[in-house]
Amino acid sequence: IKDELQESGVNVSLSTVSNILHKAGLRGRRPRKTPLLKHYHLKNRLKFARENLDKSSCYWSSVLWSDETKIELFGQNETKHVFRKTGERNHPKNTVPTVKHGGGSIMLWGSFSATGVGSLHRINGIMKKEDYLKILDTYFKRDAEKLDLGRRWDLSARPGS
């Protein structure tokens, strides 16, 4: 903003621009990370929501959901900020320990429902369609029984990917 103003002949300091932005309620922040969703993802999610809008809480209590997650074994996969004084760069409270090559990560798969959580399983390597189907075949029915979802339970359907 400061550079744009200077190009038009208005000379302002950086602190003036910062103060005006702060008075307007604007603060410097890291952008929020969100999944990369293409147009058809959004369209399918909206369709899923509309189709299921009127389902009862009884129905939703019979749904068994699943999800996968990646967990960093050492550190976190995000930017950290510290506020420190000049000359305190190497003070332990102002540092984040690292390991070479990131320290690795693991992928986990799990299931859950309105009545509780199912099993948790480590995924070795990159999960392919066949691996996912094997997990569903091996653990999903068992988890439905463990969570006492009865005979009539529904595999969570994700909106088309």
**What are the residue boundaries of the structural domains of the chain, listed by start?**
1-30, 54-161
Rounded Cα gap, residues 159 and 161, in angstroms: 6
At 161, list the tokens. Answer: 């990917």
Q: What is the DSSP letter of 51?
A: H
β-strands 116-123, 105-113 pairing: antiparallel
Tokens of 19: 């103060």
pTM of the predicted model, to two decimals?
Answer: 0.58
Q: How far apart are CA 64 and CA 138, in angstroms?
A: 14
Q: Can you tell me the distance from the alpha carbon of 90 to that of 78, in angstroms, rounded to the nearest whole number?
A: 20
Edge-first strand listing for the sheet containing 154-155: 116-123, 105-113, 63-72, 154-155
Helix or strand or coil: residue 57? helix
Q: Which fold has domain 54-161?
A: Nucleotidyltransferase; domain 5 (3.30.420)
Which of the residue ranges 12-16, 65-69, 70-74, 138-142 would you say has the lowest mean pLDDT? Answer: 70-74
* pLDDT for res 152: 67
Per the listing, tokens 């103060």 go with 19
Rounded to whole angstroms, how far apart are CA atoms 135 and 128?
11
Q: Using one digit for the tens of pLDDT, what is the confidence trace for 137-149?
A: 888 888 988 888 8
